[in-house]
A and B are shown apart, each in its own frame.
Chain A
């Protein structure tokens, strides 16, 4: 399977705990994106990387959130001191670097539930 892979698929955690999600993009894609989707809404952009460089972060990404992409391959998204409002689907996507518009390919997401 050469698509975008996310792990775990589901995560239930207690409020105040830290969680980490992993994303493996399509291998030839330089760009990797994180989105968050809550019920009844479309995905919202969180951050993106080009290779290992984090080029943009949304103001949605509070100080409790951190993302990394060491060596420009897989990426991790960590949420510290989770809150109930962090419950959402976290989506990863990847795309090649293009000078024109191109689609981003999404993984199946990680469903986070904070209890």
Chain B
């Protein structure tokens, strides 16, 4: 039962262009969503989050969009840089549970070419 899905295993973009990573969820109890970035042999690093009361959150080059009716969120990175190359995980947490208990997607490997 994969409650959070990232259907694209990998994404390749040119430096300076936009990277768009997508995530779908099925559990309507999820109300807080996060993106983590992970380099090999390291733990995930928090990137950006969004509450279900919002549909957009921006932090520098990173913007997360939430479409609750479609149960879909996306992460936009503009402009993409080679240092952004990593695995990106979408995660969600639900009302009524510990907000640190996260359900993760499978991850998308982003490669940004110079």
Residues of A at the B interface (CB closer than 8 Å) are: 4, 6, 31, 33, 35, 40-45, 48, 50, 55-56, 91, 93-95, 98, 100-109, 111
Contact = CB atoms under 8 A, between A and B. Distances in A.
Interface string B51-64: 10000000000000
Contacts of B105: 42
A49 to B, nearest CB: 10
Given A95-B99, A101-B49, A104-B100, A42 B91 contact: yes
A38 to B, nearest CB: 11
Interface residues of B, number: 28
B104 A98 contact: no
B32 A100 contact: yes
Nearest to B42: A108
6 contacts: A42-B89, A44-B104, A48-B100, A101-B93, A104-B100, A109-B43
Give the top 7 A-B pairs by smallest Cβ distance, nearest first.
Answer: A101-B32, A42-B104, A106-B43, A95-B100, A104-B100, A103-B46, A108-B43
Interface in B80-98: 89, 91, 93, 97-98
Contact of B98 (A31, A103, A109): A31
Contacts of A95: 99-100
